[in-house]
Structure 1
Amino acid sequence: MSLLDARELLAFPGGDNATDTVIGNVHFNLTTLDFWNYTLYSNGSLSNGSWCLLTFAPYTPSYLLPNGTFLNVTWCWSPTEPIGVRAGLGIAYAVLFGIALILTCVSLNKHGKLHLPAEKRFFPIGRRWQWYWGAFVCATAMISLLVSVDVDRYFLPELPIILSSFFWYLMQIGAVALVWEAVRHWGSWMERQFIDPDPFSLRIDDRRSKVELYLPLLFYLLLWLNFFMIVPRNWTAIQHQRYPQQTIDEAAPTATDARFKAAAFLLAGCWLVTAFSLRHSIKYYCPRNRGVFNRIIGFVRYTPLRFALILLLAAALIGYQGLVAFYFDYSPLKVGGLDAAIYAGGYTPALLIVWVQALFGLLNPNEDLELQRQRRVRNQALNLEMGLVLKPSWWRRVNGEHMDPNEGVREQLMRNVREIHGTKPAGPAAVVSEGLDEPVEMTPVSPPPLVSPRITSPPMEPYTGRSERRRQERTAELAAGLLFPEAAQTAAATAARRRAELMMDGPPPPSYTDTVRGTQATPNAQAPNVARSLSGQSSGSTNQPPQQIRSMLDV
């Protein structure tokens, strides 16, 4: 029997006597029914205002006790009806939202990973909020759709219609927040790409930064006002749709009151803020256009396809919420409402929004990886401008500079010694033969004697100067000489050879104390004070022939 049938009062059918009635081929005491104010309705229910039970087969009670208690009773708020069109479509949509939830979690895992150090200006959670809201939309939609199965199956409307409507409104809020976070983060990502080559190209105290600071506050203010207009209210009147007159008197006025209408306009304000945020990002981070007509063309041209789709879907979602706030017949809050309108306007836009987000999330790369790629491209362009040609990655492996991650301590020591000696193995065979013929180990752990005849490295005098850096270098050289005596000898020989090469151009110039300015130093010069005393005599410089400069060392 349909829930929308007229719920008319019926007289109790006659029985064996004046105090007996037969309902569903079961005899009941009519005196007891009258005493407890039970009334029989045309839809097959028996109610006294507090309790309601079914009387048609196979749910007819088996016996009535004198205290008014029925045995084997089935209440009116039980899922006794078969699954209808609304319930079947709800299951199908719940499956689609479940798949979208999985794809959203995959996108969250992909785009939420950090491949670069976190920056104070761009928090990692900023890129994840759109996926958090996507998961929220999928979860609330699945709850609303699965609960709508019991909306069809319950004999009289009760808690399922309230839960379905409640989570449907939460899904609407989450879908609008998802669109906002996607657009807002795109602007943040554009700013990050804009300042990555030059961190000082944008100011942090201009009009642009102030707008980006206050826009999220305005959006979430409107969104939370929408939430408080809808959620904290008395939802009991929504389930009062047990007969047509009750629906007209209680359910319809509640579902179309002023709070639901105001909530729809607040959600429209959120959409306008989102569109303005997109326009703001295109204005500052994309090529500018002059003139009103060219700006409109540029806005359409530089708007990503993803945002063009989800903004239109969000507008349709908000428009449907405003429609049901004025017309109860198209509302998902109505039991037995128009299923085509409920699913086409109530659930399809939100489903398409999360699917578009998930698909583009799978196609787009991780932002950190994309930023690394852009940096490599810029570095290659700069190297090309300066004429630098970098060696390929295989160059080090070919020249024996490849570091095997599985090498042991012995191989690491051999490689370090080869780097100190300046030699490279010819190949793997040379490494093996070198390791077998000349085992390389560090010096013993036990401290050597203070004077050891085995150390042949040249002695180093302690550094007595003031330079801390030179003292550290001298200490490092001394430690290297103790650990690798052969390397110290090689370094000393190299330094001596270098000094000999420098001396091939001639002796160093004489010092200031060994010469007398303007005179020739005499062999019997005894002290510097004599030279100083002779430098003041001008007669010597005029009597001597001019000095012949042989090289730059004599200057």
Structure 2
Amino acid sequence: MPIFDAREVLPWIPGSNVSDTLIGGIHFNKTALDYWNYTLYSNGTLSNGSSCILTFAPYTPALVHPNGSFVNVTWCYHPVNAIGTRAGVGIGFAVAFGLTLIPLLVALNKHGSIYLPVEKRFFPIGRRWQWYWGLFVCAAAIISLLTNVDVDRYYLPELPIILNVFFWYLLQMGTMALVWEAVRHWGSWMERQFIDPNPFMLPQDDRRGQFEFWLPLVFYLFLWLNFFMIVPRSWTPIELQRYPEQTIEKAIPSTQDPRMKLGAFFFVVCFMIILVSLWHSIKHYCPHNRGIFNRGLGLIRFTPPRFMLILPLTAAMIAYQILITFDFDASLVKIHPNILAMYLGGYAPSLLILWVNSIWGFASPNEDRALQAQRRARGEEINRELGFSRKPAWWRPNEGNERMRDRIARNVREIGGGRATAKTFAERNAARAAQTPRSGMAPRMVIPVGQSVYGGKSDRRRTERVTNAAAALLFPGTSISVDRVAELMQDGPVTQPPPPYKDAAARGRDGERPGSMGRSNSTGTTNSVSGPPQQVKSMLEI
């Protein structure tokens, strides 16, 4: 049940009679107010523990009914105040975060695109996580900043201040995850470039690989502990800032309890893990330096400029979260905090981190494209070492500029095909038929081949028509299929043709059974030995 406390309880102002009282210059039934346990407070509110209404002009109710309901009532949790400094600055930051969404989406599309086959060792989603977290940070920041409008306008603090603080903590966690993914993925990208010439240079099951496997799990464990210490709790005490005593007794202890301090400590552990990941990547994938002093210089020299800006901003963000667990005046949990400390420590670091990451996303190429360029450079270097020089494009213009379609057409012209092949086949068969005399055939008649050629678009149908035309020239007056023509055109010996058919009566007289077609079951070989030899004949004379 909501609590509607105020600084001081005011007595009823006497009215025209005993059961009458004046509130804001308007007469009310005092008996009904007492019956429903209404109390008048010095902050201009009238409350009975379950409902609260405003009593000052121009929000004074017009009438109270015997059942305790009011006419023309304005509740205490209503935006009646003007927008203050907190909301005005918050709107400006919200616009800045909203505009940051555009470069983040462009960078996600640019760096998330794939131009090389996906490798099991390097998943494409690994390069996208930092942009996903950036979008999450923008969304949480916009919600948190826009609720500042209702924080300023509500007469008594309620839900808006809770939403403001809740999404701000999510903003902090998302920013920490963004920085981690940026540093972790940079190490993964360095590893990918390191092993691209030789994938078997670094095994995955060695001490280095196991360290890179467990380190992300440890980071997200402590990030989850930060979330667990802050989010699963009662947020109602934050809105209990309706007068100074209540703020001291309710609001401040809830924002400075041990759980809040422990959550800030877990943020420090996450930051240390990020630094360890950066050191690990430089140690294994960058040139080594000897000596402690030279190693320290190498650590600074090989750290990307982007991280030289992001890491101090992350440290400033963590420092502010630690600060608000000790100083309530600088905390955004307070209704009227120190605006400069609130926005410089609470929102500016996250916004600057997003801008630095977005600028880097515009300036840097896609990783697959960069890897392709490195492979081309290595190939050219190897060619120079071997003394091999590639010929320019104009060296073989026909081969270099010829399309695949032109190559296929050139090959077809060389081996024959289409209309030209069919026409050549018909002319060749016609010439052979004209040069080879055959007995028992009708006089050859020359027919122009072009008149028999099929004029449609089907090559298969055109070939069949030409072949049929050639068969008609070879065998006039008959209808022979294409397959039969191909069989007849073959040369070589054939067996003796079967004997002519005999009628049933003749077969009966010769002692053969009807239907045997001159065949006998005798195994004698007299006829085959004493008979004349067989003469080989051509199939064309049958």
For the aligned pair, the TM-score class normalised by the smaller chain equals 0.7 to 0.9
For residues 356 and 57 of structure 2, the distance between their equivalents in structure 1, rounded to whole angstroms, comes to 49
Between 24-33 and 209-218, report the one with greater CA deviation. Answer: 24-33
For residues 388 and 70 of structure 2, the distance between their equivalents in structure 1, rounded to whole angstroms, comes to 95
Shift of the 220–420 alpha-carbon distance from structure 1 to 2, 3 Å rule, reads farther
Partner of 1:444: 460
RMSD, aligned α-carbons: 2.7
Give the TM-score normalised by the residue count of structure 2: 0.76
Confirm or deny: 8 A CA contact 1:230 1:259 kept in the other structure: yes
Give 1:300-319 correspondences, 5 Å limit: 300-319=300-319
Partner of 2:188: 188
For residues 28 and 298 of structure 2, the distance between their equivalents in structure 1, rounded to whole angstroms, comes to 80
2:266 equivalent to 1:286? no
For residues 412 and 290 of structure 1, the distance between their equivalents in structure 2, rounded to whole angstroms, comes to 60
Shift of the 305–24 alpha-carbon distance from structure 1 to 2, 3 Å rule, reads same
| Identity between Structure 1 and Structure 2 (%) | 59
Q: Deviations over 1:215-263 (max 9, x none)?
A: 0011011000111011111111111111110000000000000000000
Q: Secondary structure at the match of 2:128?
A: helix
Q: Secondary structure at the match of 2:203?
A: coil
**AA matched with 2:401:** H
For residues 174 and 235 of structure 1, the distance between their equivalents in structure 2, rounded to whole angstroms, comes to 20
Confirm or deny: 8 A CA contact 2:39 2:47 kept in the other structure: yes
For residues 413 and 380 of structure 2, the distance between their equivalents in structure 1, rounded to whole angstroms, comes to 32
Q: Deviations over 1:13-45 (max 9, x none)?
A: 232223222222322111211222211122211
Give the TM-score normalised by the residue count of structure 1: 0.74
Confirm or deny: 8 A CA contact 1:54 1:76 kept in the other structure: yes
Post-superposition offset of 1:11: 2.1
**AA matched with 2:460:** P
For residues 312 and 415 of structure 1, the distance between their equivalents in structure 2, rounded to whole angstroms, comes to 67
Post-superposition offset of 1:359: 1.1
**AA matched with 1:50:** S
Partner of 1:485: none
Q: Deviations over 1:488-540 (max 9, x none)?
A: xxxxxxxxxxxxxxxxxxxxxxxxxxxxxxxxxxxxxxxxxxxxxxxxxxxxx
Partner of 2:398: 399
Post-superposition offset of 1:418: 5.6
Q: Deviations over 1:132-174 (max 9, x none)?
A: 1111111101110011111111100000010110000000000
**AA matched with 1:143:** I
For residues 414 and 125 of structure 2, the distance between their equivalents in structure 1, rounded to whole angstroms, comes to 45
Partner of 1:428: none
Post-superposition offset of 1:116: 0.5
Partner of 2:320: 320
Partner of 2:156: 156
Post-superposition offset of 1:6: 7.3
Q: Secondary structure at the match of 1:328?
A: coil
For residues 395 and 52 of structure 2, the distance between their equivalents in structure 1, rounded to whole angstroms, comes to 86
Q: Secondary structure at the match of 1:329?
A: coil
For residues 234 and 266 of structure 1, the distance between their equivalents in structure 2, rounded to whole angstroms, comes to 20
Q: Deviations over 1:287-343 (max 9, x none)?
A: 111111111100000000111111111111011101111222211111111111110
For residues 353 and 179 of structure 2, the distance between their equivalents in structure 1, rounded to whole angstroms, comes to 8
Shift of the 419–216 alpha-carbon distance from structure 1 to 2, 3 Å rule, reads farther
**AA matched with 2:68:** G
Give 1:17-36 correspondences, 5 Å limit: 17-36=17-36
Post-superposition offset of 1:180: 0.3
Q: Secondary structure at the match of 2:261?
A: helix
Partner of 2:72: 72
Give 1:120-519 correspondences, 5 Å limit: 120-393=120-393, 398-399=397-398, 401-403=400-402, 413-417=408-412, 444=460, 449-450=482-483
Which structure 2 segments of 5+ residues have no match? 417-454, 468-481, 490-542
Confirm or deny: 8 A CA contact 1:330 1:341 kept in the other structure: yes
Shift of the 160–415 alpha-carbon distance from structure 1 to 2, 3 Å rule, reads farther
Shift of the 241–415 alpha-carbon distance from structure 1 to 2, 3 Å rule, reads farther
Q: Deviations over 1:405-431 (max 9, x none)?
A: 9x7xxx67524436769xxxxxxxxxx
Between 94-103 and 180-189, report the one with greater CA deviation. Answer: 94-103
Partner of 1:117: 117
Shift of the 418–344 alpha-carbon distance from structure 1 to 2, 3 Å rule, reads farther
**How many residue pairs end up in the alignment?**
433
Post-superposition offset of 1:275: 0.4
Q: Secondary structure at the match of 1:27?
A: strand
Shift of the 364–60 alpha-carbon distance from structure 1 to 2, 3 Å rule, reads same
User: Higher Cα Rg: structure 1 or 2?
Assistant: 2
Shift of the 338–419 alpha-carbon distance from structure 1 to 2, 3 Å rule, reads farther
Shift of the 72–186 alpha-carbon distance from structure 1 to 2, 3 Å rule, reads same
**AA matched with 2:409:** M
**AA matched with 1:77:** Y
Confirm or deny: 8 A CA contact 1:6 1:244 kept in the other structure: no
For residues 167 and 386 of structure 1, the distance between their equivalents in structure 2, rounded to whole angstroms, comes to 61
Post-superposition offset of 1:50: 1.5
For residues 277 and 200 of structure 1, the distance between their equivalents in structure 2, rounded to whole angstroms, comes to 23
